[in-house]
Amino acid sequence: MIIKVAQSAGFCFGVQRAVEGVLVWAKANKGKSIKVYGMLIHNSYVIDKLKELGVEVVEDIEQIGKEDIIFIRSHGVSMDEYAEIEKRAEKVYDFTCPYVKKIHEIVNEHSENGYDIIVVGDMNHPEVKGIVGHVSNNRKCFVVDSIEKIKEAINQVEGQAVVVCQTTFDSKKWSEIREFLETHTNYKVFDTICKATINRQKEASELAKHVDIMLVVGDKKSSNTNKLYQLLKEIKPTFFIEKVEDLDSIKLDSHIKSIGVTAGASTSPEQIEEVVKHLEEKFNEMTLKDFERLIDRS
């Protein structure tokens, strides 16, 4: 049996930066009131670990007080929220991912200069809400997730527009939208989809072609982990693993000789290791002699 772990499985750069930042700060400042504004990541495993260190997650700005040290997650926040948090808290540490910050700058600068804004993404996603909150100068802003919706938006745009994309949007859909927009020469299109997402999807799809089954490790609330799962399901039998116990429900036929493992951007390295370790034990119990564990995450 061969188990292969995708090189890009787990935390992306932006999430790792935010989680490590909060962890280091929380360990060094026990007793202080440390709060993360919004769910730091969609991963109960990591959130529980932070809670053990006394870190609280607040969803409501009203819950922020003078004594609080506030961390802003990688998704970012709107300009108004940032100003309000700064006014209320003792100190703010901004862990907005630099790639998301770049979108904030594009949107803000162009709306200041008279462009309308089109955001391709999910209007309920916190990153998109934050991006929309950087439009200024009363310019129009549309959030769309399909060519049909972008056509509707185009009918309402006044003059020039700028198009940006949610960092974790479906890369295939984004390519189709970009192709469609090529005929709209008065639109500036910024390719702001995160390469970490594309690489993870590409690498996992490639891995899926070379193994018998795939495991996707992560929290079911995580949208990028779900997208990964949906994508791989089309290629190979794929199982969503939230916790190691989920492995017990997978029935492995004798023809299965290899397992591929990947994980969403919000899955910690510990969770992936735990799953691989459990697989190792499971196969040892089954006395499969040709077990080989290949982890290449250098």
Catalytic machinery residues: 127
Q: Which 190-209 residues touch ligand F3S, going by CB under 6 A?
A: 194, 196-197
Of 3, 5, 12, 276, the residue at the interface with ligand F3S (CB under 6 A) is 12
Q: Does position 262 bind ligand F3S by CB under 6 A?
A: no
Phi, psi of 119 (to 5 degrees): -110, 120
Report the candidate in 114, 184, 115, 110 with the shortest Cα–Cα distance to residue 147.
184
- CA–CA distances in Å: residue 295 to residues 4, 88, 259, 284: 6, 46, 12, 18
Q: Does position 96 bind ligand F3S by CB under 6 A?
A: no
Least distance to ligand F3S, CB of residue 83, Å: 23
Of 3, 131, 161, 265, the residue at the interface with ligand F3S (CB under 6 A) is 265
Which is closer to ligand F3S, CB of 72 or CB of 265?
A: 265
Q: Indicate the burial class of 26 (C-beta count within 10 angstroms; 0-12, 13-18, 19 or more).
A: buried
Of 14, 76, 130, 218, the residue at the interface with ligand F3S (CB under 6 A) is 14
Whole-number Å distance between alpha carbons of 158 and 114: 9
- Total residues binding ligand F3S (CB under 6 A): 14
Of 8, 166, 167, 222, the residue at the interface with ligand F3S (CB under 6 A) is 167
Least distance to ligand F3S, CB of residue 28, Å: 24
Q: Which 99-118 residues touch ligand F3S, going by CB under 6 A?
A: 99-100
Whole-number Å distance between alpha carbons of 131 and 127: 6
Which is closer to ligand F3S, CB of 104 or CB of 139?
A: 104
Q: Does position 119 bind ligand F3S by CB under 6 A?
A: no
Are 188 and 160 in contact by the 8 Å Cβ rule? The answer is: yes
Q: Partners of 70 in the beta sheet?
A: 35, 92
Q: Which 48-77 residues touch ligand F3S, going by CB under 6 A?
A: 74
Q: Residue 45 carries which side chain, given as an amino acid letter?
A: Y
CA atoms within 13 A on the CB side of 131: 32
The residues binding ligand F3S (CB under 6 A) are: 12-15, 74, 97, 99-100, 167-168, 194, 196-197, 265
